Amino acid sequence: RLNERRQLNTSEENKKLAYLLDLKTICIVDLVYGMTLLQVSHDSKIDWLELNETAHKLLYRDKKMRLTLLDCRTGQRHAILSYCTFVQWVTGSDVVVAQSRNNACVWYNIDTPDKVSMFPVRGEIVDVVRGDGKTEILTQDGNHQLGYELDEGLVEFGTAVHDSDFGRAILFLESLGPGVDADGMWQNLAD
């Protein structure tokens, strides 16, 4: 990840790379300083991995289809999903979308990996698209392509708060107007 989503109060370059040293070992390096930040071994072969845009979190899946979240700053790991057939970070956010069997699994706040929103989907998830004020999961069911819209409020607000971009969070909440959801988000922002 090369300066994809800079943190608000820093001018520090953020150029990190995660790769497999071998089939069971992940290495994360800082390309600015030319040093290894973290090296993690796993008990099974890894077939997919990706850093989030700030390079603070890494998701990886093994051949047994287990999805694991790694905090790159602490080295702490959480197994968050079994039988994972699809996983992707939502562009411009720290939201994760994955599929397990016939369910879409969405982590709107990846800092609390035990809190996941699940709902049934038809077919296989093939993509997650974000644009024009909405985020949508696309599935392929035979010859039919279906879309499932995510809660853009949770995507946008959570990302703004996570990035400490409180101005963006306030603008978003003001655009919502009054309501129960907005009241809860205002309280979250105040805390």
pLDDT digits (tens, 9 = 90+) for 22-74: 999 999 999 989 999 999 999 999 999 999 988 999 999 999 999 999 999 99
Check pLDDT > 60 for residue 1: no
Give pLDDT tens digits for 132-188: 889 999 999 999 999 999 998 888 877 777 777 788 878 877 877 776 566 767 776
Whole-angstrom distance, CA of residue 134 vs CA of residue 132: 6
Residue 34 gets the label, from left (phi > 0), alpha (psi -120 to 50) or beta, of: left
Sign of the torsion formed by the C-alpha atoms of 7, 9, 10 and 11: positive
Question: Phi and psi of 151, rounded to 5°?
Answer: -75, 95
Is 85 within 8 Å of 73 (Cβ atoms)?
A: no
Query: What's the pLDDT at 112?
Result: 83
Q: Which of 47, 14, 12, 46 is nearest to 29 (CA)?
A: 14
Greatest mean pLDDT among 6-10, 47-51, 109-113 lies in: 47-51
Domains along the sequence of the chain with CATH: 1-82 (2.40.10.480)
H or E stretch at 167: helix 166-176
Q: What is the DSSP letter of 143?
A: T
Residues whose CB falls within 8 Å of the CB of residue 65, separated by 6 or more in sequence, listed in order: 82, 83, 84, 85
Segment (H or E) for 73: none
